[in-house]
Amino acid sequence: MAQTIKTAAHIGPSPLGSKPFVSKWSSRYRGATVQDLEPPAALSLNPSDPISLALISAFERDYTHLTIVDSETRALLGYIAIPVLQAQLDAGQVKPGDPLSAAMARFERKGKKYKVITMATPLEELEEFFEGGAGQKQEFAVVTDEDRRFVLGVATRSDLEEFVKRRPA
């Protein structure tokens, strides 16, 4: 007869690092995936769009991060973190009429391997991603299809924390 071992944390090999990742909330995930977070659809803008459009769009939807895609190929180029953008505006580094390209954080394409986060990604892997399994802590994850052709949504660290709060231990 098989024996069941119950642990409060997920311990296992990490595809992102050399040390096994220990999830602090594994008992609450119970097989849940990113899809269970019900991330809102991504709002993707173009680098040529004005900063004011990003601010209005984020405010209307209560988004903290917006993805930036190429206007022709729809390839993911980078993102805008609204709190950072607001700080740049307050400091006079950018103006509302400036293009998003002046303020966006660009993804490095060469020499960097990104962790693919899909709707089917287990929440333990998402937590590991947020906690720095990819080298540094992250505040959000761009959710794509398996082939990374389409941006489906954005999941944030606070989305994961809210999910855990709503789920009994």
The pLDDT tens digits for 98-116 are: 999 999 999 877 766 778 8
Of the chain, the percentage scoring pLDDT greater than 90 comes to 46
Instruction: Please say if the pLDDT value at position 24 is more than 80.
Output: no
65-69 β-sheet, strand order: 44-45, 65-69, 76-81, 105-106
Interhelix angle 123-130/157-166, nearest 10 degrees: 130
Average pLDDT value for the chain: 83
Q: What is the phi/psi pair of residue 88, to 5°?
A: -65, -40
Q: What is the pTM for the complete model shown?
A: 0.73
Q: Helices marked H in 62-156 — which ranges?
A: 82-90, 123-130
User: Interior CA angle at 124 toward 119 and 127, to 5°?
Assistant: 90
| Alpha-carbon torsion, ordered 65, 66, 69, 74, to 10 deg | 110
* CA separation, residue 166 to residues 16, 30, 118 (Å): 28, 13, 22
Whether residue 82 contacts residue 66, with contact meaning beta carbons closer than 8 Å, is answered with: yes
